[in-house]
């Protein structure tokens, strides 16, 4: 019982730390520019429209609260990695749907219908996560954010695939690694203590 309470408090503490960290990063300008690695080489190849310069990278979106809980609630590194992989796959599928929906062999009125496009974006994200065996519900919520945040897409260009969904998730991912590492250290100490005491008691019995 004490262990469950301690785990609940520790998890809640790191959820709070995670949300505060995202808000702190959002409050302070974080410029980002990899045009020399992406946009400029593509422009030379005749492919334009991939500007990746962002005056201020964003780290918070409402679905990241659920992502934060999912990450901090993970008990092992494999569970955390699977969850993070689900976000990468789900967000990737969402971005692909947003970018290439206009190529679908459908009537123009359907391809431009926001209700259908939003549904298709979340459905594609869900399908991709299920196929790779890494379903994570908050990633589907992030997929809807990628579609709905048209104003932000217009201001940052193609870099919208990175922020705030992936940037915030990456920050939370590393915080979750710290949380699991600390938890493992305390659990290891808790397991060593009883086993040590058991050996001592057994040796005493043999002497008697």
Q: What is the pLDDT, as a whole number, of residue 133?
A: 92
Per the structure, the count of domains in the chain is: 1
Determine, yes or no, domain membership for 96.
yes
d(CA 170, CA 165): 9
Q: Is residue 37 part of a domain?
A: no
Rounded to an integer, the average pLDDT of 75-100 is: 90
Does residue 208 surpass a pLDDT of 70?
Answer: no
pLDDT at 13 over 50: yes
Asked if the structure places residue 14 within a domain, the reply is: yes
Nearest of 77, 119, 68, 129 to residue 98 by alpha carbon: 119
Supply the pLDDT for residue 125.
93
Q: Which domain holds residue 11?
A: 2-27+60-189
Does any domain span residue 166?
A: yes
Looking at residue 66, its pLDDT comes to 93
pLDDT digits (tens, 9 = 90+) for 39-80: 555 556 665 555 556 667 788 888 899 999 999 999 999 999
Q: Identify whether 54 is part of a domain.
A: no
Q: Is 198 part of any domain?
A: no
8: in domain: yes
The predicted structure's pLDDT at residue 182: 92
Does position 37 have pLDDT exceeding 50, yes or no? no
Q: Say how far apart CA 93 and CA 85 lie, in whole Å.
A: 12
Residue 53 lies in a domain: no
């Amino acid at each position: 019982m004490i262990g469950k309470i301690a785990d609940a408090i520790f998890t809640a503490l790191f959820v709070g730390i995670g949300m505060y960290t995202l808000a702190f990063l959002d409050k302070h300008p974080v410029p980002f520019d990899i045009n020399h690695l992406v946009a400029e080489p593509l422009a030379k190849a005749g492919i334009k429209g991939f500007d990746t310069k962002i005056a201020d990278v964003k780290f918070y979106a409402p679905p990241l609260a659920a992502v934060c809980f999912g990450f901090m609630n993970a008990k092992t590194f494999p569970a955390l990695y699977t969850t993070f992989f689900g976000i990468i796959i789900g967000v990737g599928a969402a971005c692909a749907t947003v970018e290439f929906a206009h190529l679908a062999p459908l009537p123009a009125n359907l391809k431009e219908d926001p209700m259908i496009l939003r549904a298709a974006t979340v459905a594609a994200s869900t399908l991709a996560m299920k196929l790779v065996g890494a379903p994570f519900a908050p990633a589907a919520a992030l997929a809807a954010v990628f579609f709905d945040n048209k104003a932000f897409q217009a201001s940052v260009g193609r870099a919208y695939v990175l922020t705030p969904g992936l940037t915030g998730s990456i920050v939370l991912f590393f915080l979750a690694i710290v949380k699991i590492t600390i938890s493992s250290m305390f659990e290891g100490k808790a397991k060593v203590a009883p086993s040590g005491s058991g050996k001592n008691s057994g040796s005493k019995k043999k002497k008697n």
